Amino acid sequence: MFTKLPNPCLIFLLAVIMVLFSDWSYGGGVPQSKSENRSARPRTESEGSDWPAYGHDDGGSRYSPLNEINRDNVKNLRPVWTYRTGDVADGSRTAETSQFEATPIMVDGTLYLSTPFNRVIALDPEMGAERWSYDPKIDLSVPYAEGLTCRGVSTWLDRKRAAGEACRRRIFVATNDGRLIALDAATGKTCADFGKEGQVALTRGVGQFQPGEYHFTSPPAIVGSLVVVGSTVDDALRVDAPSGVVRAFDARTGALRWSWNPIPRERTDPAWKTWKDDSASRTGAANVWSVISVDAERDLVFLPTSCPSPDFYGGERRGNNLYSDSVVALRASTGKLIWYFQVVHHDIWDYDVPAQPVLVNLRRRGREIPAVAVATKMGHVFLLERETGKPLLPVEERPVPQGAAPGEELSPTQPFPVLLPPLGPETLTPEDAWGITEADRQWCRERIKSLRSEGIFTPPSLQGSVVYPGNIGGVAWGGVSIDPARSILIANTNRFPFIITLIPRDRYAAEKKAHPNADITPQTGTPYAMRREILRTRSGVLCNPPPWGTLAAVDLTSGRVRWQVPLGTVPRLAQVPGSSEWGSPNLGGSVVTAGGLVFIAAAMDQYLRAFDIETGKELWKSALPAGGQATPMTYRGKDGKQYVVIAAGGHGRLGTKLGDYVIAFALP
């Protein structure tokens, strides 16, 4: 038997249910080649009909050139088929609830998707009929760090094999229990020549871990004949967390081709000196749990790294802690570091880079410049030159609050975009306090007065500190989408404040006993445990002014926000006057089409919506049978119709209705 892991994400999202409802970091070598004449656009397997990767293309643009469904006719969009996976967990018979966050891919006339149980399913894209399914039979009794979650699968075509030969096209899935599995896209059978009987064990060589502490939630990246995988490591448990190593495997054989650790392990690495007292040798995590982007023509992969362990106290890892909380470009064929850009120095706020770095082309002075757009939990958006990592728009180091807990050593400054405004507020003062009633507002004022609240990057403290917009604020894993024709970036954001309190080690046991259901994690190996709570009124409503969730359009040419609108509603507040403009906490992402539309669900009210990309006006919505905490996708079927598909299975931790639905919409 094992002891259930303390899980801050679980407690936090359960609390959500109660709540509602030009300095830059740059390093590495010089790219092997530069050419302004080469195509800067990420590779796609189909320019029109298919959706061959999680983000549509290798660079994660989530843009489709299809325009049959457009601003004029989207009002006629209707459900045309529904498929049910059968895989849903409410926590009663498994260790965790399910999060159906998957985005299907569409290639060679078949739709492929994964369930929260890591089952892989192939569907007829016009009818929704099942063609095959594969069950890896993961242990559902394990309390996985992020719950039962799998955001998708990836595909690779072995051009050395003849058409019709087994495993010519492969489907790859990385599982919650730490396996990389290769399946024949035509039959769903494992590819026997990959690893051992179609599987590679990903849990070897990453250190010791408890059941569920180390697993995989995002689809692998495919580049050339390599499959590249990161990992998910549980938060805030201990200094010596499992390794966040990123690895590339041969897509045919499963042989390991290279590995790269976001925490430097060699003294010769220039980043070693950013970990004082040799702390890089004993710190874990900084893992890549989100989606990796690929520029195959430049032989580059772009990694979104996360916070080192533990999350909320860094006295055992003093220094800037490179290459954590960064976008890192590696040579795809070798794993060699090319450049990095750190978005947070010495992170003690759990400000991972949460979303896929998106490859985009910018027009400047008549030139097309290949870029990377990086969206963060702080609501900052950085635009970097793709081959060097240099900021394309100014970034400056600004002083941030100091005076941390004893033993801590903060970075005196943090990087801020100068022209691109943050996608949400960064301070919460007593004067900002909000509530539905005057009593609630007064309670919030007094609560904020009792805490440290000095704006973004206020350090965790023994007193208790307001951290805003919080570790699931700004842009979450849903990421951003890009309209390349209009040079517009679409981002959905969350805005809610947390209270982070450090607990002296000798009080940890008593605190846990006194508050058995609170979000308290040990941070073993440090002088402090941590308690995290959402800053909310006694009636359970957030103390910060709404909107609590928004959808925004950013003009990447001018650097201005073209529009920003509330996203969704909170069902339990529906009867409160004005609540339709308050937005909703949201998990999931958007897609953009050439029809001038933005499709997104994500909110707590269980609708799939379409917005006008020019104005932000909501043009259409359709109720879903369960929560839509996933990113939709779109494709053209063999019948010539354009379909929009979304997984609607709810999110156990957000508290939306659970289900197992995959729903397709099309015009009559």
- Residues annotated catalytic, as ranges: 350
Q: Whose CA is closest to 121, among 532, 661, 666, 668?
A: 661
Contacts of 666 (CB under 8 A, 6+ apart): 69, 77, 78, 80, 641, 642, 643, 644
- Kindly tell me the burial class for residue 17, based on how many C-beta atoms sit within 10 Å of its own C-beta (0-12, 13-18, 19 or more): middle
Cβ proximity of 632 and 645 under 8 Å? yes
Q: Whose CA is closest to 656, among 623, 609, 632?
A: 623
Strands 326-331, 300-304: parallel, antiparallel or unpaired by DSSP?
Answer: antiparallel
Cβ proximity of 190 and 182 under 8 Å? yes
Rounded (5°) CA angle 610-616-622:
20
Q: Quick check: helix, strand or coil at residue 84?
A: strand
Q: Whose CA is closest to 543, among 469, 448, 472, 473?
A: 448
Indicate if the alpha-carbon torsion angle 321, 317, 213, 529 is positive or negative: negative
Q: Whose CA is closest to 5, among 211, 151, 291?
A: 211
Contacts of 598 (CB under 8 A, 6+ apart): 481, 490, 551, 590, 591, 592, 610, 611, 612, 613
Cβ proximity of 84 and 660 under 8 Å? yes
Long-range pairs, 618-623, Cβ under 8 A, ≥24: 618/565, 619/71, 619/74, 619/75, 620/74, 620/75, 620/77, 622/77, 622/78, 622/79, 622/665
The span from the CA of 17 to the CA of 10, in Å, is 11
The span from the CA of 365 to the CA of 378, in Å, is 30
The span from the CA of 76 to the CA of 319, in Å, is 56
